[in-house]
Amino acid sequence: MNIQTHIEETVMPVPSASPTPIIEVRDTQVFYGEKQAIIDVNVEIEPNAVTAFIGPSGCGKSTLLRCLNRMNDVIPICRVEGSITLAGQDIYAPEVDVVALRQKVGMVFQKPNPFPKSIFENVAYGPKINGLTKHKLEMEEIVETSLKRAGLWEEVKDRLDQPGTGLSGGQQQRLCIARAIAVQPKVILMDEPCSALDPIATATVETLIDELREKYTIIIVTHSMQQAARVSQKTAFFHLGELVEFGTTEQIFSAPRQERTQNYITGRIG
């Protein structure tokens, strides 16, 4: 498949200081009917790093996140203009297979949403429908590796046949991350992945995010600025549909250049 080959090329280690971006968003506008939700956004996502999208409610951060794997396609009044490329390939090109795209760009949602099936089947489901493997043994390996990478294996290895919904909230969220990993994505989108979790479960997921960036590119939308500061290397601040400022997380949180960023992160505008 086209996308696949392109990705293989760009994931080669790039020795330069600023690596080739894996996702490039160019002059992008998003409309919900008449209302414009994203205005002229340009952003480049660095591979193998965590990029945080922050901003007040309704600023467009989740909308943009959902554009990156075409989750907005299911909303009939939603219209996307401009160009969004994954490893150089336009993801809105007519020939793109959306299912294949979402395999490359996985997603984890705010509320853990495991399937009402066993832990094993939750993780195995993606690889199965994508035809990644046909052998039972191979499937078991994929499930184990995915659960290990999601930091859940030790906790669930003796009860893989039990329902995923029976796990705690934090475990369920890590199960969803394992499910996303199982189909070998390049990018994982996370929309408020910890907002339904307690502080300990949040800390576990944050540790996991930090480990995952070695293998994946992660984009996280969060309302918690502390979380953005803790887990991300790059931060983008959105306000009223515009990308106000994009920089290293350190710079954004210690010395933002734009007044709107400053006012938002210090708690002066909501």
Partner 1 sequence: MENTHIVKSFDRDLTQIENMILEMGGMVENQIMLSINALIARDEDLAKTVRAADKPIDALESAIDENSIRILALRQPLASDLRHVVCAMKVASNLERIGDYCKNIAKRTVALSGHDSVGSSEKTLKRMGQLVQQMVRDVLDAYVKKDLAMAEELILRDEEVDHMHNTLFRELLTYMMEDPRNITSCMHLLFIAKNIERMGDHTTAVAEQIYYVVTGELPEDDRPKSDMTSQIVVSAEGDLI
Q: Are 82 and 27 in contact (CB under 8 A)?
A: yes
Residue 67's contacts (CB-CB under 8 Å, 6 or more residues apart) are: 25, 28, 30, 38, 80, 84
Closest approach of partner 1 to the CB of residue 251, in Å: 8
Nearest to 178 by CA among 122, 255, 115: 122
Per-residue DSSP letters for 129-190? HTT----HHHHHHHHHHHHHHTT-HHHHTT-TTSBGGGS-HHHHHHHHHHHHHHT--SEEEE
| Per-residue contact string for residues 141-170; x = within reach of partner 1 by CB under 8 A | ------------------------------
Binding flag, residue 253, partner 1 (CB under 8 A): yes
- Of 29 and 262, which CB lies nearer to partner 1 in the complex structure? 262
Pairing of β 23-32 and β 78-86:
antiparallel
In the complex with partner 1, the residue whose CB is nearer, 55 or 112, is: 55
Which of 13, 76, 116, 267: binder of partner 1 (CB under 8 A)?
Answer: 267
Q: How far is the CB of 231 from partner 1 (least distance, A)?
A: 15
Q: Which is nearer to partner 1, 13 or 270 (CB)?
A: 270
Of 3, 225, 243, 244, the residue at the interface with partner 1 (CB under 8 A) is 225
| CA trace torsion 257, 258, 260, 265 (10° rounding) | -20
Nearest to 126 by CA among 100, 92, 160: 100
Contact flag: residue 229 with partner 1 (CB under 8 A): yes
**Residue 122: in which H helix or E strand, if any?**
helix 119-129
Count of positions on this chain that bind partner 1 (CB under 8 A): 16
Looking at 108, 143, 150, 265, which residue binds partner 1 (CB under 8 A)? 265
Applying CB under 8 A, which part among 132-140, 153-161, 205-213, 221-229 lies near partner 1? 221-229
With binding defined as CB under 8 A, does residue 226 bind partner 1? yes
Residues that bind partner 1 (CB under 8 A): 225-226, 229, 253-256, 261-263, 265-270
